[in-house]
Amino acid sequence: MLSNASLYNEIEEKIEQRQILSPEDIVFLYDTADINWLGGLAGKMADNVSSNYVSFVSNLILNYTNVCNVRCKFCAFYRTGSEEDSYTFTEDRVIEEIAKYYEPYGIRQLLIQGGVNPSLNLDYYTSLFRRIRNEFPNLGIHGLSTSEISFISKKARLSVEDLLIELRKSGLETIPGAGGEILDYEVRKKLGRPVNSGEEWLSIMETAHRLGIRTSATMMFGHVETGLDKAKHLLSILKLQQKYHGFLSFTPWNFEPGNTQLEKEGVVTERTGGLDVIRNIAVARVVFNSQLPVIQTSWLTNGVEMGQIAILYGANDWGGTIYDEKVIPATGKQVGNLRKDTIIESIKAIGRIPVERDNLYRTIKIYE
């Protein structure tokens, strides 16, 4: 008890002096620290970063194909291409889908990602992005996981750097953090991720940041990982952030085992609980503090009420609206749609001020 008491003090002092926490400190936060102490600390730190303001974005998630040749064991979304419910949107279909929501809901961010579909060439993406930029000028394209980027670059025989330059020219604005999961090699083997895909995630993010393309960072928890795996994951992200300040936000996601290979093999059969969700939000805030100032709630998998609690435990960005998302429902979990009004009400209900932002986190409107 005494040694824990001194650890609490030591961690608070390190934060006060803006020191980076050690892996051991972070493991303590994940595995042992009192959740109320942790939440209080993280909540205060978030208030120092963004005061009473909580941002959100009018977002559309578009999963343009579910055909994928990677076949991760934690993914319920992918199809091999021969199933009846395999699909790939044509350019016209993507445009039609965006048009349904763009004007009526004032959409500012398009999160566009899908499987690693071997039949799609670079032209598919560049032509599509150009058309999106022309037809929907207020939309920021937040697109493609590192898995998709890696495959497209190999198929087009371009370096990742040259590919990113091409994609940016055609309209790509930012890159989501998908593909990060947990960066540790052994964990990724158990998740059925390709070897070296953790290093590749970091390297693609670094290339993007060096080119001035901003990205998001994520972490998927609640499967086979340990506190130390998560600590190392956060510290790798922090190290890169200190180099280029290219990450715009961090989102910790909890794994949804429904309909996945990991569930079928009996490796993970239950989703993690709410306490673990808010602990992961709070630890991210305590580790990143103002160096990676935006921590997003993962309300999508946990519901609006958990989104509100996450704000009180260190998050300061709600994430986005949602219309007809397809990845989470593939696990058997229904998320429904979430419109702007509900987000504004949910943020106001916990005494915070909602701020609508765009894809680059620039303020559009404050809802006092």
Query: By the criterion CB under 6 A, which residues form the site for ligand SF4?
Result: 68, 70-72, 75, 77-78, 115-116, 147
Write down the least CB distance from residue 145 to ligand SF4, Å. 6
194 burial (CB, 10 Å; 0-12 / 13-18 / 19+) is middle
Write down the least CB distance from residue 17 to ligand SF4, Å. 39
Write down the least CB distance from residue 139 to ligand SF4, Å. 23
Q: For residues 72 and 238, which CB has a smaller minimum distance to ligand SF4 in the complex?
A: 72
Strands (E), the chain: 53-57, 59-62, 109-112, 140-143, 172-174, 215-221, 247-254, 317-320, 353-357, 363-366
Q: For residues 176 and 354, which CB has a smaller minimum distance to ligand SF4 in the complex?
A: 176
83 burial (CB, 10 Å; 0-12 / 13-18 / 19+) is exposed
Q: For residues 193 and 232, which CB has a smaller minimum distance to ligand SF4 in the complex?
A: 193
DSSP character for 342?
H
Q: For residues 298 and 346, which CB has a smaller minimum distance to ligand SF4 in the complex?
A: 298
Structure tokens at 293: 């100032």
Write down the least CB distance from residue 309 to ligand SF4, Å. 27
Write down the least CB distance from residue 64 to ligand SF4, Å. 11
Burial 29-68 (b: 16+ CB within 10 A, else e): bbeebeeeebbebbbebbeebbeebbbbbbbbbbbbbbbb
Q: For residues 108 and 193, which CB has a smaller minimum distance to ligand SF4 in the complex?
A: 193
Distance CA(65)–CA(114), nearest Å, equals 5
Distance CA(276)–CA(282), nearest Å, equals 10
Q: Closest by alpha carbon to 313, among 276, 260, 360?
A: 276
Q: For residues 39 and 257, which CB has a smaller minimum distance to ligand SF4 in the complex?
A: 257
Write down the least CB distance from residue 68 to ligand SF4, Å. 3
Write down the least CB distance from residue 260 to ligand SF4, Å. 9
Q: For residues 70 and 240, which CB has a smaller minimum distance to ligand SF4 in the complex?
A: 70
HSE, side-chain direction, 13 A CA sphere, residue 251: 22
Provide the sign of the torsion angle of the four alpha carbons 321, 291, 185, 118, taken in this order. positive
Q: For residues 111 and 238, which CB has a smaller minimum distance to ligand SF4 in the complex?
A: 111
In DSSP terms, 263 is beta-bridged to none
Write down the least CB distance from residue 63 to ligand SF4, Å. 9
Distance CA(285)–CA(44), nearest Å, equals 10
Q: For residues 70 and 163, which CB has a smaller minimum distance to ligand SF4 in the complex?
A: 70
Structure tokens at 249: 């936000």
Write down the least CB distance from residue 163 to ligand SF4, Å. 17
Q: For residues 252 and 314, which CB has a smaller minimum distance to ligand SF4 in the complex?
A: 252
265 burial (CB, 10 Å; 0-12 / 13-18 / 19+) is exposed
Write down the least CB distance from residue 262 to ligand SF4, Å. 12
The identity of residue 121, as a single letter, is N
